[in-house]
Amino acid sequence: MTEAPNESSTERSDAGGHLNFIEQLVEEDIAAGKNGGQVFTRFPPEPNGYLHIGHAKSICLNFGLADKYGGQTNLRFDDTNPVTEDTEYVDSIKNDVRWLGFEWENEFYASDYFEQIYGFAEKLIQKGLAYVDDSTSEEIAAQKGTPTEPGQPSPYRNRSVDENLDLFRRMRAGEYADGAKVLRAKVDMASPNMQLRDPIIYRIKHAHHHRTGDTWCIYPMYDFAHGQSDAIEHITHSLCTLEFEVHRPLYEWFIERLGIFPSRQIEFARLNLTYTVMSKRKLKQLVEEGHVNGWDDPRMPTIAGIRRRGYTPASLREFADRIGIARRENLIDLGLMEFCIREELNKTTHSVMAVLDEQPIKLVITNYEEGREELLNIENNPEEETITYRRVPFSREVYIERDDFMENPPKKFFRLFPGGMVRLKGAYIIKCDDLVRNDAGEITELHCSYIPESRSGSDTSGINVKGTIHWVSVPHAVEAEVRLYDRLFSVENPAADDPDGQLRSFKDLLNPNSLEIVRAFVEPALVEAARSGEQTNFQFMRKGYFVLDPDSTTNRPVFNRTVTLKDGWAKEQNRKS
């Protein structure tokens, strides 16, 4: 240990070294010598659905924490409810965790511990701390009382140890029907904490389990499986979301009575994101009512959806890092997630040209010889340390977007207008001479002239233009389908519109324009790159970041818009209107 590092290094370590409250607790534990200074965590999903961005926060937290302190993280499936769980979900969860960039130390299942957990239950019975209750679920609910009134003891609360043991074994043996009996922990029916009013710890379910098959007909409840699994795995820090806070006294009660490894449960606030919903029930509703096209719809906050939207694992890890960890409820601005993916893609993708328009304008360069073609060198990404170039064909006719031309432009419109000049990106400066209209009076073509000495890279024209627009050569253009995704909901916090947790119609909350499908013309190099699998993420110059979608066919590529570019012009226009 060297003393007194110089000031600058102290500052540096402080600057990046803010600890969140969990890291502080962990460091206190390490300093106190708990668990031999080790840090073991686990990510414990129930395999009953798809992972979403909130799970990503938890994954990054658990794996990140163990990694930071030289520990390990297990992937543990919390599969104690056979009727809701399925192997299909196990596979998708593993896939998502790996895709995020994490590798677990062990793959475990709560169902691996059923025999041990059963043993814990018998131990509790033998200590007189658990009893078999024949009451119906309604009766048990009535016994619980309310938060303001204490509960009443069950008539079966004082059964003898022997009777309880016998009954519990017969429960296991399958002698009773579902719901006929439960095993309850004998804690405190008058506790102000409802979780402690003799919670049910085992129930009878004659159901097929995705892993244990028909071996069991009794299954432990969450409260008698999660902490026990943590203990078995010697998880030092068991991180979960705030709603489990009231379970912690029970978690610790079991540790004490059972004398098992004392994992420490720490709760943090779950992630909420603007313009989306996070609850499994609501996500399911979106899928089932057909508001989206499945769990991996690019508008969904599922990891599968976000992946298909074109987000990268690194951008999600960065996002998880930036949102922080705390105990207060939060609603994170979707814009932060967008910032994270732009930040990465800006550095890594090639900027290519795509004309996104159902009805692009054809631009005819009247003084460019018919049949002439040039291959222009255009830089792939101005951010590259050493710039690379690709060849882009140019010809007498090019497509441009309708938005890049205005017949009567407002002030500070830098794009094309009658008599105006712009640069075609990577090519020439052109001047708009004439408009061509169809019978309906719509503009179909622009006749322009180009300045031959203004060619990019060897411009001797001395002309400066304000605007540069993108284009695609008509004879070389490849047609593509482009899916323009936007926020799923039009209100910031759709969950707030659902105060009672009632299932209600999403109709007035959904963004009607969350998906717009347009035809596009893209430069040929892009299709080659995508087909070869070299790159799937691109910047469509001036438009946004796009990713090749699995729906693509060899003849017709499909691109999803991941996120738009920031658009100062559009922002200013919106402000005016």
Partner RNA sequence: AGCCCGAUAGUAUAAGGGUAGUACGACAGAUUUUGGUUCUGUUUGUGGAGGUUCGAAUCCUUCUCGGGCUACCA
Site for RNA, residues 247 to 276, rule: CB under 7 A: 247, 269
Question: Scanning residues 455 to 474, which ones bind RNA (CB under 7 A)?
Answer: 455-457, 459, 467-469
Phi-psi category of 259—alpha, beta or left, where left has phi over 0 and alpha has psi -120 to 50? left
Q: Do strands 264-268 and 237-241 pair parallel, antiparallel, or not at all (unpaired)? A: parallel
Residue 19 interacts with RNA (CB under 7 A)? Answer: yes
Half-sphere exposure of 138 (CA within 13 A, CB side): 0
C-beta closer to RNA: residue 297 or 487: 487
Q: Does 28 bind RNA (CB under 7 A)?
A: no
Which residues inside 503-522 make contact with RNA, applying CB under 7 A? none
Q: Which of residues 200-229 bind RNA (CB under 7 A)?
A: 200, 203-205, 219, 221-222, 225-226
Is there a contact between 98 and 131 (Cβ–Cβ < 8 Å)?
no
Report how many residues bind RNA under the rule CB under 7 A.
Answer: 94
Q: Cα 385 to the chain's mean position, in Å?
A: 31
Residue whose CB is less far from RNA, 214 or 551: 214
Select from 194, 463, 503, 517 the one that contacts RNA (CB under 7 A).
Answer: 194
Would you give the binding string for RNA spanning residues 121-140, x where CB under 7 A is met? --------------xxx--x
Interface with RNA, residue 330, by CB under 7 A: yes
CA distance 254 to 257: 5
Q: Which of 166, 245, 374, 497 binds RNA (CB under 7 A)?
A: 245
- Beta carbons of 482 and 356 less than 8 angstroms apart: yes
- The answer to whether 45 and 78 have CB atoms below 8 angstroms apart is yes
Quick one: tokens of 334? 């979707």
- Touching RNA, residues 74-113 (CB under 7 A): 78, 80-81, 84
Task: Report helix, strand or coil for 329.
Answer: coil
Residues 419-458 that bind RNA (CB under 7 A): 423, 425-426, 454-457
20 binds RNA (CB under 7 A): yes
**Residues marked as catalytic:** 46, 270, 280
Q: CA 321 to CA 340: how far, in whole Å?
A: 10
Tell me which residue has tokens 């029916």: 189
What minimum distance in Å lies between the beta carbon of 46 and RNA? 4
328 binds RNA (CB under 7 A): yes
Q: Helix H segments across 310-431?
A: 313-323, 334-348
Q: Which is nearer to RNA, 297 or 306 (CB)?
A: 306
Measure the N-to-C terminal CA separation of the chain; round to a whole number of Å.
63
What is d(CA 280, CA 287) in angstroms, rounded to the nearest whole number? 11
Q: Which of residues 279-298 bind RNA (CB under 7 A)?
A: none
Round the CA-based radius of gyration of the chain to a whole number and report it.
31
Q: Which is nearer to RNA, 297 or 537 (CB)?
A: 537
Of 195-203, 254-262, 292-300, 433-441, which segment contacts RNA by CB under 7 A? 195-203
Specify the stretch interacting with RNA by CB under 7 A; choose among 285-293, 410-418, 438-446, 471-479.
410-418
